[in-house]
Amino acid sequence: MQKVLFLYLLLFAFVMDAQENKDPLFPYLLKKEEDDGARIALPEGPRDRIYLQSEWKEGLLHPKMEGLAPVRLDQVRYRVIDGRMLVMEKGILYPLDPEKIKAVVIGLQRFEPLKYKEKGSVKTDYFEILHTGSNRLVHQYKMAVKKSDYDYRLNTGIKEDIVFFEPQPYIQRGSTPAMPLRKKAKAFFKILPLHKSKLLAFAKEKKLGFKQKEDLIQLIKRYNLWSK
């Protein structure tokens, strides 16, 4: 009897595993999470603040391997604090494997896992793609905290710490690791040294700076045009 029960359980596990492997999303999932980032130290407050998106969104996964079809994501969002793109499948939380993904599209935003340089080392994170071309403008999101400055005597200031996401611009040249852009003309031309005089004249004519996202997109677009 015990032998029959063992064989039945083995067959059941095999069938369940086969069904799971039929899920087109299965190859792109890492080990499920049990705590939704509860291990991460945070200021007091709702844990939703660790996500870039305020709620779960529909999305589309583009595989890194050529020829594979995109995979629909019913519930996805990006957890900024530890750089993980997460999906909710049947009530279970899974991180996506960045090694197998070309891009994740959420609404109008396209995110790609890119290598980038930080303090002399090369790391990987998800970046929002702002402009494509031979040189790309991308955003990395960092979590920042504005501390409470409430004055009880005067009843002024902020009572609670405010958590917000600060977009940091990077430039990626070809397939090389993305490099941080310090929002100054000098930093821009250190990464992209060509066409300096023409681009400065263009920026002056169009009243563009080197800090705002919209201005940087126009500058990168013009730089790529002149670099063809």
Per-position pLDDT tens, the chain of length 228: 555 444 444 444 434 444 445 789 999 999 998 766 555 555 444 455 789 998 999 999 999 999 999 999 999 999 998 899 999 998 999 999 999 999 999 999 999 999 999 888 999 999 999 999 999 999 999 988 778 788 888 888 888 777 778 899 999 999 999 999 998 999 999 999 999 999 999 999 999 999 999 999 999 999 999 998
Give the CA angle between residues 228, 182, 43 to the nearest 5°: 130
In the structure encoding, which two tokens stand for residue 206, read together? Answer: 């169009």
**Residue 14: what pLDDT?**
39
CA-CA distance, 200 to 180, in Å (whole number)? 20
In a domain, 201, yes or no: yes
Judge if 223 and 119 occupy the same domain: no
CA-CA distance, 75 to 113, in Å (whole number)? 19
In a domain, 84, yes or no: yes
Ordered alpha helix ranges (H), 162-212: 185-191, 196-206
Considering only CA atoms, which of 37, 15, 16 is closest in space to residue 143? 37
Judge if 98 and 195 occupy the same domain: no
Q: Are 81 and 38 in contact (CB under 8 A)?
A: no
Name the residue range of residue 43's domain. 26-180
In a domain, 1, yes or no: no
In a domain, 107, yes or no: yes
Judge if 172 and 187 occupy the same domain: no
Judge if 131 and 168 occupy the same domain: yes
Single-letter code of the amino acid located at 165: F
**Residue 144: what pLDDT?**
81
In the structure encoding, which two tokens stand for residue 175, read together? Answer: 């397939």
Which helix (H) or strand (E) segment holds residue 11: the answer is helix 2-21
In a domain, 12, yes or no: no
Judge if 81 and 194 occupy the same domain: no
**Residue 163: what pLDDT?**
75
In a domain, 171, yes or no: yes
Enter the pTM of the model. 0.82
In a domain, 4, yes or no: no
CA-CA distance, 192 to 178, in Å (whole number)? 12
Judge if 86 and 139 occupy the same domain: yes
Judge if 165 and 199 occupy the same domain: no
CA-CA distance, 80 to 164, in Å (whole number)? 10
If you search the block for the tokens 């821009």, which residue do you land on?
188
Judge if 66 and 155 occupy the same domain: yes
Domain boundary among 155, 180, 205: 180
Domain tally for the chain? Answer: 2
Domain boundary among 180, 202, 220: 180
